[in-house]
Amino acid sequence: MSPAVSGRRLVVLRHGETTHNAAGIWQGQLDSPLSERGVEQAYAAGAALAPLAPVRVVASDLQRAALTGEAVAKACGVDLSLDERWREIHAGVWQGMSGAEVRQQWPAEQEKLARGEDFRRGEHGEAVADVARRTAEALDELLAGLGQGETVVVATHGVAGRAAVAGLIGMDQAMAWTTLGGLGNCHWAEVAEGRVGWRLIRWNVGPPGVEAVPGPQSRA
C-alpha cells in the first residue's frame, strides 16, 4: 500500500498492452488498440488505483492510453479528460516497423539510445527533450488545479511518462533513461509532494497478477 501523503500526489500510468506491443512494433504516435490482455490489465489497474481516491484522471488522446484512463476513471468514479500533450514520443519513420527492422537499418542510432543520448527518433520524429517540454506544460496546468492532499492519475505512455516524472523530480533526462528503466504495461510511478519539492515514492508498480514486462527501453 502506498504511504500516506499530506501534499499533492501524482500517479503516472503506462497504458495496457497493445497489439503492437505484443508484436514488437515501434508505435510512437500510431493509434494502436489495446489487446485483449491490455483491456484486462486496464481494469486491473483501475481496481488497484481506486483506493488512492484520485480526484481526476487525465489521459493521452491515443486510444491505448485513453481506454486505459477510461477504465481507471470508471473504477474511481471520476471524470476522464484527454490531452494530446501526453502522447508518446513521435518515432518518425520507425513507427510501424519492427524492432529488428529498426536495429538493422539504424544500428548507430540504437547504440545512441543504449547510451542515453537524445536525438530525433526515426529521422524526423521527436527527441525526449521535446516530449519533456510538452508534458511539463501539461503537468504544470494539471497540478495548478490540484488541491492539498489530492491525487491525480495520468494515463500515458512509457517514454512520455518517464520524461514527465524525471522533469518533476529534477532528474536529468539522460540519467532517467539509463537508470529508471521502462514502465511495464499498466504499471505506474507514484510521485508525492514533500516539504522541499516532489519525490519519487514508487516506480514500476502494477496491479496484482500483472507482470512488469516493459518492451525494450528504446522502443516507444
Residue 98: pLDDT band (50, 70, 90) is very high
pLDDT computed for residue 219 by the predictor? 53
Backbone angles phi, psi at 182, to 5 degrees: -90, 155
The domains of the chain are located at 9-90+126-205
Question: Catalytic site residue 111?
Answer: no
24's CB contacts (< 8 A; 6+ apart) are: 98, 99, 100, 215, 219
Task: Give yes or no for a contact between 216 and 155, defined as CB atoms under 8 angstroms apart.
Answer: no
Count of positions (residues) in the chain: 220
d(CA 26, CA 41): 20
Which residues share a beta bridge with 34? 18
Res 3 pLDDT > 90:
no
Instruction: Give the class (CATH, top level) of 9-90+126-205.
Output: alpha beta
Catalytic residue among 17, 40, 88, 126: 88
Catalytic residue among 15, 90, 157, 187: 15
Amino acid 117 reads E
Question: Catalytic site residue 88?
Answer: yes
pLDDT computed for residue 216 by the predictor? 47
